Amino acid sequence: MINTIKTETPILIANDVSKWFGKFQVLRNANLQVKAGEVVVIMGPSGSGKSTFIRTFNALEPYQEGRITIDGIPLTEDIQNIDQIRQNVGMVFQQFNLFPHLTVLENITLAPIQVRKFTKTQANEIALRLLDRVGILEQAQKYPGKLSGGQQQRVAIARALAMEPKIMLFDEPTSSLDPEMVREVLDVMRSLAKSGMTMLVVTHEVGFAREVADRVIFMDAGQVIEDTTPAEFFTQPKEARSKLFLSQIL
Amino acid sequence: MTAIWRRKKNLEWVGQAIVLAIVVGLLVLFGHNLDQSLKRLGLRLGFKFLDSQAGFSVAESVISYDPSQPYSRVLLVGFLNSLKVIFSSLIAATIIGVVAGIARLSDNWLVRQMAKVYVEALRNLPLLLQLLFWYFVVFLALPKADNPIFFGFIQISRSGINLLGLALSPEFSSLFAGLTFYTGTFIAEIVRGSIKGVDRGQSEAARALGLSSGVTLRRVIFPQALRIMIPSLANQYLNLAKNSSLAIAIGYPDLYAISSTTFNQTGRAVEMMILISITYLAVSLTIAGLLNAYNSRMQRSSR
Amino acid sequence: MNAKTTIKPVRWVQKNLFNTPYNAVLTILCVWILWSISSSLFSWLGQSEWTVISENLRLFLVGRFPETQLWRMGAIVTIPILIASTLVVRRSQAWNFVLIPVGLGTIAWLANGGFGLPLIRSSLWGGLFLTLFAAAISTALAFPLGLLLALGRRSELPVIRGISTIYIELVRGLPLIGILFMAQVMLPLVVPFRLDRLLRAILGLTFFNAAYLAENIRSGLQSLPSGQSEAARSLGLNSIQTLRFIILPQALRLVTPAIVGQFISLFKDTSLLALFALFELTGIARSILSQPQFLGRNGEVYLFIGLIYWMFCFGLSQFSKRLEVRSS
Set of chain B residues whose Cβ sits within 8 Å of the Cβ of A78: 2-3, 6-8
Residue C24 CB contacts under 8 Å (≥ 6 apart), including other chains: C17, C18
Set of chain C residues whose Cβ sits within 8 Å of the Cβ of A99: 228, 231-232, 245-246, 250
Q: Give the residue with greater pLDDT, A129 vs C194.
A: A129
Q: pLDDT grade, residue C6 (50/70/90)?
A: low
Cα–Cα nearest to A30, from A56, A3, A1: A56
Res C71: pLDDT: 83
Contact at 8 Å (CB) between C313 and B125? yes
Among the partner-chain residues C234, C236, C249, the one whose CB lies closest to the CB of A101 is C249
Give the separation between CA B54 and CA B68, rounded to whole angstroms: 6
Write down which chains contact chain A via at least 3 CB pairs under 8 A. Answer: B, C
SS3 content of chain A, % helix, strand, coil (to 5): 40, 25, 35
pLDDT tops 70 at residue C157: yes
Res A2: pLDDT: 44
Among the partner-chain residues A77, A80, A81, the one whose CB lies closest to the CB of B9 is A77
In this complex, is the C-beta atom of A73 within 8 Å of any C-beta atom belonging to chain B?
Answer: no
| Residues A115-153 pLDDT 10s | 999 999 999 999 999 999 999 999 999 999 999 999 999
Q: The whole model's pTM is what?
A: 0.88
Contact at 8 Å (CB) between A200 and A167? yes
Q: pLDDT grade, residue C15 (50/70/90)?
A: confident
Give the E-state strand segments of C156-277 in sequence order. none
Give the separation between CA C266 and CA C120, rounded to whole angstroms: 25
| Residues A141-185 pLDDT 10s | 999 999 999 999 999 999 999 999 999 999 999 998 998 899 999
Segment holding C224, helix H or strand E: none
Letter for the amino acid at B302?
S
In this complex, is the C-beta atom of C253 within 8 Å of any C-beta atom belonging to chain A?
Answer: yes
Q: Give the residue with greater pLDDT, C194 vs A215.
A: A215
Among the partner-chain residues A60, A100, A101, the one whose CB lies closest to the CB of C230 is A60
Q: What is the ipTM of this complex?
A: 0.90
Q: pLDDT grade, residue C5 (50/70/90)?
A: low
Q: How much is the average pLDDT of B6-20?
A: 84
> Which of B106, B110, B150, B255 to mutate against chain C (most C CBs within 10 Å)?
B110
Among the partner-chain residues C17, C19, C271, the one whose CB lies closest to the CB of B126 is C271
Cα–Cα nearest to A27, from A224, A228, A239: A224
Contact flag C176-B242 (C-beta cutoff 8 Å):
yes
Contact at 8 Å (CB) between C140 and C103? no
CA angle C107, C110, C112 (to 5 degrees): 105
Q: How much is the average pLDDT of B253-259?
A: 95
Alpha-helical (H) ranges within C113-196 are 127-154, 158-173, 176-181, 187-190
Min Cα separation C310/chain B (Å): 5
Set of chain C residues whose Cβ sits within 8 Å of the Cβ of A97: 225, 227-228, 230-231
Min Cα separation A9/chain C (Å): 25
pLDDT tops 60 at residue C292: yes
Helix-helix angle C158-173:B269-302, to 10 degrees:
100
Cα–Cα nearest to A77, from B7, B97, B241, C181: B7
- What residue of C is the nearest CA neighbor of A83? C236
Res C328: pLDDT: 60
B 135-194 residues inside an 8 A Cβ radius of C: 136-137, 141
Q: What's the mean pLDDT when you consider all of chain B?
A: 89
Cα–Cα nearest to B117, from C261, C36, C30: C30
Q: pLDDT grade, residue C64 (50/70/90)?
A: confident
Res A1: pLDDT: 39
In this complex, is the C-beta atom of A81 within 8 Å of any C-beta atom belonging to chain B?
Answer: yes
pLDDT tops 80 at residue C91: no
Set of chain B residues whose Cβ sits within 8 Å of the Cβ of C313: 124-125
Res B113: pLDDT: 93
| Residues A9-43 pLDDT 10s | 889 999 999 999 988 999 999 999 999 999 999 99
Q: What's the mean pLDDT when you consider all of chain A?
A: 90
Contact at 8 Å (CB) between C169 and C161? no
Set of chain A residues whose Cβ sits within 8 Å of the Cβ of B7: 76-79
Contact flag B6-A82 (C-beta cutoff 8 Å):
no
